[in-house]
Structure 1
Amino acid sequence: MSGNVINFYSTKGEYGPFSNFSAHRLFLKGKTWRTSEHYFQAQKFAGTEHEEELRMAESPMVVARMGRSRKRPLRKDWESVKDDIMREAVMAKFTQDKELKALLLNTGDATLVEHTANDFYWADGGDGSGKNMLGIILMEVREKLQLEASSVADE
């Protein structure tokens, strides 16, 4: 990692597309999802009627609220699969949209940080004490895309 750090959180600004709330559709499991947040939250209820209900939610804020509510039965393996589901969503988002892929690749080797006090798991907790898993996953996806780009360039 370089000393260069890119903080993101809001859907606005140059790096707004790194937010799961950004208005970028993705195609997974044979369906179109309004945002990566829609896909992620719906997978908490994969294979149930709740999955489709969350897929159809009108906005990422609404689907986040629905997914965090414990009125629906959360899948038993959620804690063990949530990182891989986020990887799947982020990979789809940044490979299915050429502009997003270019934006991510253009960050080079910068450290990507979801910077907010609202989240200590997916973000940095606002003070660096959080895990920043979304930033880490974005950097993993970027590394895969860089490797693909360099192997294509080598051919």
Structure 2
Amino acid sequence: QQLRKKNFIYCPGLVDHYTFEYDGNRYLTAEHFMMAEKARLFADEEAALKAVSAKTPGEAKRIGREVKGFNDEIWLQHRFDIVVKANLLKFGQNKDLKDYLLNTGERVLVEASPVDSIWGVGLAADDPLVELPESWQGLNLLGFALMEVREQLVR
């Protein structure tokens, strides 16, 4: 179910079943891509291959937590661009998704997750504070990444 309010849009589960391809690999989700690219960033090709072939996003995420040679400082410098790339590929290759994203216009996109304070706002979609960026408990990196993708797709 989609909840729309003024300048914000929340779409839980909307994009989960769209796959995309890159460099000869098919990715089930952006999470798969992100974890594979995380592994490649640290030259852990074994983990990258496992992430690509993971059965679920959760499995890909677990693999990503075990990347050999991981360095948090380096990851922090690259994570946003990797997620933008994943979603640019995903939304660019799936017309329904692209149209949906473009139809959000100028709205602020929010990953309304009470358990994710990095990619989300750290608040549930039904929390009244979710519409007040100054009250967010998280960074909303996924929301900002999707807004960047939207901007690139418009060009």
Instruction: Please say whether Structure 1 and Structure 2 have the same fold, judged by a TM-score greater than 0.5.
Output: yes
Deviations 1:81-109 (A, max 9, x none): 11111111011011111111000011111
**Which residue matches 2:8?**
5
Mapped partners of 1:96, 1:113: distance in 2: 22
Moved runs in structure 1, 4+ residues, more than 4 A?
none
SS in 2 for 1:27: strand
The structure 2 residue matched to 1:73, chosen from 68, 75, 81, is 68
Size of the alignment, in residue pairs?
A: 135
Q: In the alignment, does 2:47 pair up with 1:44?
A: no
| Stretches of structure 2 lacking an aligned partner (at least 5 in a row) | 124-128, 130-135
Once the 2 structures are TM-superposed, how far is the Cα of residue 138 of structure 1 from its aligned partner?
0.5
Mapped partners of 1:103, 1:139: distance in 2: 12
Give the conservation status (yes or no) of the 8 Å contact 2:20–2:27. yes
Give the conservation status (yes or no) of the 8 Å contact 2:31–2:61. yes
Once the 2 structures are TM-superposed, how far is the Cα of residue 67 of structure 1 from its aligned partner?
1.6
**Which residue matches 1:152?**
none
- Residue type of the alignment partner of 2:150: R
TM-score by length of 1: 0.79
Give the conservation status (yes or no) of the 8 Å contact 1:3–1:111. no
Mapped partners of 2:69, 2:137: distance in 1: 27
Once the 2 structures are TM-superposed, how far is the Cα of residue 34 of structure 1 from its aligned partner?
1.3
CA RMSD, aligned part only? 1.8
Give the conservation status (yes or no) of the 8 Å contact 1:43–1:51. yes
**Which residue matches 1:124?**
121
**Which residue matches 1:31?**
25
Once the 2 structures are TM-superposed, how far is the Cα of residue 29 of structure 1 from its aligned partner?
2.5
SS in 2 for 1:6: strand
Mapped partners of 1:3, 1:74: distance in 2: 44
Mapped partners of 1:75, 1:30: distance in 2: 25
TM-score by length of 2: 0.79
Give the conservation status (yes or no) of the 8 Å contact 1:24–1:36. no
